[in-house]
Amino acid sequence: MSNIESIISGLIRRAGGYVKYAADSGGPAHFGISQHTLSIYLGRNASTAEIENLDQSLAHKIYRQNYYLAPGIDQLPAMIQGFVFDSAVNHGPEQALLFVQRSCNLLGAKPALNEDGVMGPHTRSATETAARQFSSRLMRTLLAERRNFYFKLIEARPAQQVLLKSWLNQLAEFDSSDTWIV
C-alpha cells in the first residue's frame, strides 16, 4: 500500500461511516466526504442517498485527486503529509497550506513565506528546511495552528462547540507529545 493510500485509509477510519450533525455546517458526510464535495466531484447536486451509499473506493479516488495531488500535498515532507492532508479534508486545501506557511514563518523561514494557501516552490523549500531543522517542533507548531483554528471557528459559530471534543480527539491522533507549547 502506498503512503497516500495508507493516509487515506487512516482518514476514512477516523471519519467513520455516514454522519449527519445538525451543528455541522458541512452537512451530511460519509467516509468524511461531504455532500458538497461529492456534488463538486460529480458536477451536479448529489443527493443525501448518494452520500449514504457512497462507495469507499470512490472516496479514496476523491481524496487522492482533490485533497492530495491537486493542492500539492504530495510535494511536502513525508513526516507532515498525513496531518496536512487531514487538515485539507477538514478545512480545505487552502487552509491546510496556510497552516504550513504560518508554521514555517513562525519557525523563521527565510525569506518569509507569503501566506496565500498555495503550494509553490518557496513553500516546498521552506517546509523541507523546517522539517530538516526542527522536525518535531514543526509538527507541534502545525498542531497548535490547527487547534487555534478550531477555537476561532467556535468563536465565530458558537453552535459548533458541540463538535470541539471530536475535533480535538482527531487532532490528538497526530500529537506524539504531551504539550501544545510551540
Q: What is the mean pLDDT of each run of 10 residues along the chain (182 residues)?
A: 81 85 74 91 93 95 95 95 92 97 96 96 97 94 96 92 88 68 34
Q: What's the confidence (pLDDT) of residue 177?
A: 53
State CA 26 to chain mean position distance.
14
In terms of DSSP H, where are the helices of 16-135?
35-42, 48-52, 56-62, 78-91, 93-106, 121-134
Q: What's the confidence (pLDDT) of residue 4?
A: 86
Q: What's the confidence (pLDDT) of residue 181?
A: 35
Q: Judging by DSSP bridges, how do beta strands 33-34 and 29-30 pair with one another?
A: antiparallel
Burial of 124 (0-12, 13-18, 19+ CB in 10 A): middle
Burial of 170 (0-12, 13-18, 19+ CB in 10 A): middle
Q: What is the pLDDT of residues 98-133, one digit of tens each?
A: 999 999 999 999 999 999 999 999 999 999 999 999
25 by DSSP, 3-state: which?
A: coil
pTM over 0.75: yes
Q: For residue 110, give Cα distances in angstroms to 102, 124, 129.
A: 13, 13, 10
Q: What's the confidence (pLDDT) of residue 159?
A: 87
CA nearest 37: which of 62, 57, 15?
62
Q: What's the confidence (pLDDT) of residue 23?
A: 61
